[in-house]
């Protein structure tokens, strides 16, 4: 009971902090993301270290955070190229040399810099078009609801494993149950804010985000499984690590951003 209460309290506080940071001024959202993603990057590098790849923590954390700053301040794209060059130069001087250093270095940049910057881009899109903050918060609420439904339904009636070798608790019943219940949520949540969007597009959005939420969760699970750990860290008590809390959001937020740009 104490563990459950702890999870509820921590979950509520985390949710409240994320929501407040999201709807505050862009500079506060930027600072929040820099702190969160700096820690998440360190957790990811720790997973890589457990599978035998030793990365320079300060260097790669700095690279990811600089990338986010460049995007936020609309820096010319050629500046981003220099970050890739730095990763390449660092990788080729590792001993013993392995192409995995360059591959995973680039993946870290994509995974924990490029993908999360879409939340800043979404914030900018919502602000510039004078849209409601409810639209900005939609991918957060959708992903949290979808993950909760998939877990609860899978626990209750799940029989057929979705990806047993990666995440034994995920089931087809949980996936399709979450998808089915997420469709009306998307429609009724967004319809009043986006009245010109055809209803079918809300269904397509729900399908897309549900699939990507599962992909995001499973992708992190691949690294945790290989590193032989349950969570990326224990910094958030019963909620695992900072990377654990955003694994699905890393994919659902960019997808929603591009969906909004197409259909708004």
* Model confidence pLDDT, tens digit, residues 133-192: 999 999 999 999 998 888 888 888 877 888 878 888 888 888 999 999 999 999 999 999
Q: Look at residue 255 and tell me whether its pLDDT is greater than 60.
A: yes
Buried b (16+ CB within 10 A) or exposed e, 94-112: beeeeeebbebbbebbebb
pLDDT of residue 57: 97
Compute how many other C-beta atoms are within 10 angstroms of the C-beta atom of residue 188.
10
Q: For position 6, what pLDDT does the model report?
A: 65
What is the model's pLDDT at position 238?
Answer: 66
- Over 90: is that where the pLDDT of 1 sits? no
Convert 126-164 to b/e letters by CB count within 10 Å (16 or more is b).
Answer: beeeebeeebbbbbbebbbbbbebbbebbeeebeeebbe
pLDDT per residue as tens digits for the range 61-120: 999 999 999 999 998 888 889 999 999 999 999 888 889 999 999 999 999 999 999 999
Is pLDDT above 70 for 7? no
Whole-angstrom CA distances from 170 to 43, 97, 174, 211, 216 are: 23, 37, 7, 13, 13
pTM for the whole thing?
A: 0.93
Output the CA angle 125-28-140, nearest 5 degrees: 55
User: What's residue 148's pLDDT?
Assistant: 86
């Amino acid at each position: 009971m104490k563990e459950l209460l702890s999870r509820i309290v921590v979950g509520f506080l985390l949710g409240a902090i994320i929501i407040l940071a999201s709807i505050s001024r862009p500079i506060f959202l930027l600072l929040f993301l820099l702190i969160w993603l700096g820690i998440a990057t360190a957790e990811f590098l720790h997973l890589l270290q457990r599978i035998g790849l030793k990365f320079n923590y300060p260097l790669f954390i700095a690279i990811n955070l600089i990338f986010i700053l460049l995007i936020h301040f609309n820096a010319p794209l050629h500046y981003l190229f220099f970050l890739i060059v730095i990763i390449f130069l660092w990788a080729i001087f590792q001993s013993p040399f392995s192409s995995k250093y360059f591959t995973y270095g680039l993946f870290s940049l994509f995974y924990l810099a490029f993908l999360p910057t879409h939340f800043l881009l979404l914030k900018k899109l919502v602000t510039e078009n004078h849209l409601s903050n409810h639209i900005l918060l939609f991918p957060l609420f959708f992903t949290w609801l979808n993950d909760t439904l998939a877990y609860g339904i899978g626990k209750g009636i799940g029989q057929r494993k979705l990806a047993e070798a990666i995440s034994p608790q995920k089931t087809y019943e949980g996936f399709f149950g979450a998808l089915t219940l997420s469709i009306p949520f998307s429609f009724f949540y967004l319809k009043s804010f986006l009245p010109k969007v055809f209803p079918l597009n809300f269904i397509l959005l729900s399908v897309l985000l549900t699939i990507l939420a599962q992909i995001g969760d499973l992708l992190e699970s691949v690294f945790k499984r290989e590193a032989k750990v349950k969570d990326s860290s224990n910094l958030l008590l019963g909620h695992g690590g900072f990377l654990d809390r955003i694994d699905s959001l890393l994919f659902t937020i960019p997808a929603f951003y591009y969906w909004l740009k197409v259909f708004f």
